[in-house]
Amino acid sequence: MTRIDELLAAGVTTSFEFFPPKTDAGDARLREALKELEPLEPSYVSVTYGAGGGTRERTHRLVVDILRETSMTPMAHLTAVSHTRDELAGLLARYRDAGVENILALRGDPPQADEGEGFWELPLAIELVELAKDVGGEQFSVGVAAHPEGHPLAESLADDRRNLAAKLEVADFAVTQFFFQAEDYLAMMEDLDRLGCTKPVVAGVMPVTNVRQIQRFAELSGAAFPRWLSDRLLEVEDDPEEVRRIGVDVATRMCQQLLEAGAPGLHFYTLNRSTATREIHANLDLPAPAATE
């Protein structure tokens, strides 16, 4: 196992994100994607956590399976919404005791109407970071989320940047929500630099393989789906192969821009599939991750 802050200090990272499947068919698809992506030697992989802890046990089981059954380094997502401090401490202790070293600490979004009202005993992500540090000590490397275009609930972009800089005073690194234009990431990094923040921020990339699905994700996350990209994709919406080809090409060029500008890592949102991610990885001719002590 390796801490992600150590990996970032050693060189540029590549990483993949997965979500816990709800069905046997989904589980089989995910296991196949894991087998196909493992030979690419990602620096680490992450596993998401459902709203209000809806995937608590599935997330934990998948993280531990990746740790014990593959050569890949897992990062467990954990959200504070609808959890007491004691519940969160218990979950962190389970990860610590299982040998997991990497946590992504998230405040979490309010649950949907049919999922209950939700509550936050730890209302700020920074408080979950501090709890993870208390529970895991030097074992845990703790990351937080960043939103290049600003969190949709933030009062202003400037306020969101200040909050992110404050989180990164305590956390070890950040991973961004997906975005579609390198300029948005670079503008965020300039803002953080002006605030004196020097912690690494990994760029999140989601290649477009389904136009309507990505538009829906973008609306939920607050990411702007550029008109130039939307128009280009909608012209070929009835041709899934052409949609994927364009999505891979656009994502590849954005990744190249990010790497040339000094992004410390690329984090691919795979949606539990491997094809587009493998194609982008091949286009970029990414090196194997640097070894750490």
Give the catalytic positions in this structure: 17
9 by Cβ neighbours in 10 Å (0-12 / 13-18 / 19+) ranks as middle
**What backbone torsions phi and psi does residue 174 show, to the nearest 5 degrees?**
-135, 155
What one-character-per-residue DSSP string does the chain give? ---HHHHHHHS-EEEEEE---SSHHHHHHHHHHHHHHGGG--SEEEE---GGGTTHHHHHHHHHHHHHHSSPPEEEEEE-TT--HHHHHHHHHHHHHHT--EEEEE--PPPPGGG-----SS-SHHHHHHHHHHHHGGG-EEEEEE-TT--TT-S-HHHHHHHHHHHHHHSSEEEEPP-S-HHHHHHHHHHHHHTT--S-EEEEE---S-HHHHHHHHHHHT----HHHHHHHHTTTT-HHHHHHHHHHHHHHHHHHHHHTT-SEEEEE-TT--HHHHHHHHHHTPPPPPP--
